Structure 1
Amino acid sequence: MGNKNKLNSLEDLGNFVFSTGEEPVFDDEETNSPSPGEQYLEAHFSNKGRGGKTVTVVKGFHGSETDLKELGKFLKTKCGVGGSVKNGEIIIQGNYRDRVMELLKDEGYNVKRVGG
């Protein structure tokens, strides 16, 4: 990309094809997330693949990545622990499933306890 030639017209672009069809769909960042009452989340307890460390996993969130990260930050702050948001899941360090379920219900989410 070290080419320092300036483009003076559309012909300088070469053989690009421009379409006037439907607008392209970009990442979830532009979509609105469903309201909490329309969300059906699952609260899991897991220690598999984590070196024996216990975590609470929240699955089933539909919406933008930004909203998911904000919800993850809210849960981590309220539980006073660390965690992460990966692959559409919120991972909270420790067994905080009951607390997480309570917090999500208070925010208006539909939450289901999954597993032991």
Structure 2
Amino acid sequence: MTRHWSPLAFVYLGLAIAGLIGTWWFNVIAIIQLRDYVGDLVTSGAAVSSFTIDLLVAAIAGSIFIIVEARRLRMRFGWLYVVGAAITAFAFTFPLFLSMRQRRLTELARAEE
């Protein structure tokens, strides 16, 4: 079962778990405090707005990469990582995709042997 799991795939999977836990920890705090989540992102100062735009642009570029790369490698349900980012966090779905991508690359490399 683990023959397609390379060390790099496990690193990406660990980052995905850290991204899920880290982002949801603060999401839960925001919910408990009844914060205006979107409003806080854009009105909490220039530094927060800069960071928000930085991450948003990176997430859009990463989402395009996910769709293109999933199609290239014939990975099923590549779009689900992009949709999942809206439900969970891009910090979770992007490294998760990279982990599954690495598994696919290992699988393809072994199939060529």
TM-score (norm 2): 0.29
Q: Bigger radius of gyration, 1 or 2? A: 1
Write 1 or 2 for the structure with the bigger share of helix. Answer: 2
Write 1 or 2 for the structure with the bigger share of strand. Answer: 1
TM-score (norm 1): 0.28
